[in-house]
């Protein structure tokens, strides 16, 4: 779990950091070492009551361990504890954040986006939809039924109407249903999900953009989960087409704390048109006195933000640049291939029925059964039995009609079916697929 080399690197980084303050009078904050040691021992013991998120046998929710360089850079920065709301509180880390945002924007083909890091995808999506609402006051927000629930909640917070668009059997936004809602003329923004968190499906962005252009509607891409996969070489052709069209959307949200190898919380919101910054305009006479340069707090709804997130992300992007053919892309390809190999292994099993072929690295699968209720009961039992064997999965509730598309002859005796879901977002998962499958077979 812990590589001692990380602790050595942290100590060296802290020594280097301290050199920058050697000219100050000696001052070392004190604390009760023995009391702190006792508390930390208790905390460490309490923290053992967690699933092993870092381990390949954790194949449940989308929890990816941060890279060692991100952990070290984040921890090192805490001795300064910068606040990236304003240059007064985070001079160096604000500069690093701006460089990070430029690199993230280039990943989508944008040379000069307006953007900043956030505490996560929810806050990033809130800002994107807040700007959308200011540009199209009172107009409806559309997102698919498989989009993250945060969009309907955010719309309610912003006082904007919201409507969910049905999905097809692949889990993508239905284009005919979308066009029907657009024809009503009351829509301001479409949220296209680039990797929904339930099924991993990628909405047909090129077609959505065509419909949006016809109806004069903004398009926001929620790529919080799938935003990095445009670097990968193993995408299916229709999925690749969606990523190629991200350059044409109005705003993008991506979460570096997912596939960007960062600690929680690190999200990012980007706007193609920097002019939307005028919507944020505000004055803070006591905060922005140290520089005439743009402060990140002037283009953010959040105030205090951890500069440590920017330090960690910058270090990671220096070590692993966001480029096709690089190490980051290779790791993403491993995740894609792990999901496909796992899907095929499930298809070869008599106990399991995989659902839609994975577009990214999320696989949903049902237990083979004659009825929806029996399938759901078996899934819950396998979930518990697999956990006893140290394989940790996730469950997802799906419409029985959707599951029945994949299990021929299944009686839909109830409206929903409990299915199993695995997120194979660790590159190491590819090597562990045979072991994971063996545990699943034994659990069934």
Residue 286 has a pLDDT of: 44
Using 50, 70 and 90 to split pLDDT, how confident is the model at 297? confident
Residue 289 has a pLDDT of: 44
* Dist CA 433 CA 57 (whole Å): 9
pTM score, two decimals? Answer: 0.95
Domains and CATH numbers, the chain: 91-319 (3.40.640.10), 327-443 (3.90.1150.10)
The SS3 call for residue 83 is strand
**Mean pLDDT of all residues in 147-172:** 96
* Dist CA 351 CA 186 (whole Å): 47
> Hey, what are 206's tokens?
């090129």
The sign of the dihedral angle between the CA atoms of 309, 310, 316, 322 is positive
Residue 417 · residue 372 · CB < 8 Å:
yes
Question: Within 10 Å of residue 82's Cβ, how many Cβ atoms?
Answer: 22
pLDDT digits (tens, 9 = 90+) for 82-92: 999 888 889 99
* Dist CA 227 CA 243 (whole Å): 9
Q: Is the pLDDT of residue 364 over 80?
A: yes
Residues ≥6 apart with Cβ < 8 Å to 316: 67, 69, 70, 73, 256, 260, 261, 262
Residue 290 has a pLDDT of: 45
> Hey, what are 35's tokens?
């009391």
* Dist CA 155 CA 208 (whole Å): 20
Q: Is the pLDDT of residue 288 over 80?
A: no
Residue 322 · residue 105 · CB < 8 Å:
no
Percent of the chain scoring above 70 in pLDDT = 97
């Amino acid at each position: 779990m812990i590589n001692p080399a990380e602790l050595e690197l942290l100590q060296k980084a802290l020594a280097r950091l301290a050199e920058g303050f050697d000219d100050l009078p000696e001052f070392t904050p004190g604390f009760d070492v023995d009391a702190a040691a006792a508390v930390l021992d208790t905390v460490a013991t309490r923290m053992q009551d967690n699933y092993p998120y870092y381990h390949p046998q954790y194949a449940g929710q989308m929890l990816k361990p941060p890279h060692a360089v991100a952990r070290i850079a984040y921890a090192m920065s805490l001795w300064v504890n910068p606040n990236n709301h304003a240059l007064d509180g985070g001079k160096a880390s604000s500069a690093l954040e701006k460089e990070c945002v430029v690199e993230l924007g280039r990943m989508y083909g944008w040379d000069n986006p307006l953007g900043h890091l956030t505490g996560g995808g929810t806050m990033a999506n809130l800002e994107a939809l807040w700007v959308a609402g200011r540009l199209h006051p009172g107009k409806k927000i559309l997102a698919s039924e498989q989009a993250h629930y945060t969009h309907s909640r955010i719309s309610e917070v912003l006082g904007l109407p919201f409507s969910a668009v049905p999905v097809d059997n692949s889990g993508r936004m239905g284009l005919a249903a979308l066009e029907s809602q657009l024809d009503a003329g009351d829509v301001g923004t479409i949220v296209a999900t680039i990797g929904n968190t339930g099924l991993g499906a990628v909405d047909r962005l090129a077609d959505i953009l065509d419909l949006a252009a016809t109806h004069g509607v903004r398009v926001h891409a929620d790529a919080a989960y799938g935003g990095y996969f445009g670097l990968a070489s193993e995408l299916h052709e229709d999925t690749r087409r969606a990523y190629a069209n991200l350059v044409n959307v109005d705003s993008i949200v991506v979460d570096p704390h997912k596939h960007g190898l960062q600690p929680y919380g690190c999200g990012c919101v980007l706007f193609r048109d920097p002019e939307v910054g005028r919507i944020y305009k505000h004055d803070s006479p006591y905060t922005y006195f140290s520089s005439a340069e743009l402060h990140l707090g002037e283009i953010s709804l959040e105030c205090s933000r951890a500069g440590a997130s920017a330090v960690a992300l910058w270090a990671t992007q220096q070590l692993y640049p966001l480029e096709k053919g690089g190490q980051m892309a290779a790791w993403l390809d491993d995740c894609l291939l792990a999901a496909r190999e796992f899907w095929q292994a499930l298809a070869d099993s008599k106990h399991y029925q995989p659902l839609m072929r994975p577009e990214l690295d999320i696989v949903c699968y049902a237990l083979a059964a004659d009825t929806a209720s029996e399938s759901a009961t078996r899934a819950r039992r396998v979930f518990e039995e697999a956990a006893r064997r140290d394989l940790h999965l996730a469950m997802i509730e799906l419409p029985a009609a959707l599951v029945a598309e994949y299990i021929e002859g299944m009686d839909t005796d109830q409206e929903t079916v409990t299915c199993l879901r695995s997120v194979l977002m660790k590159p190491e998962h590819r090597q562990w697929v045979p072991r994971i499958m063996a545990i699943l077979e034994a659990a069934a």
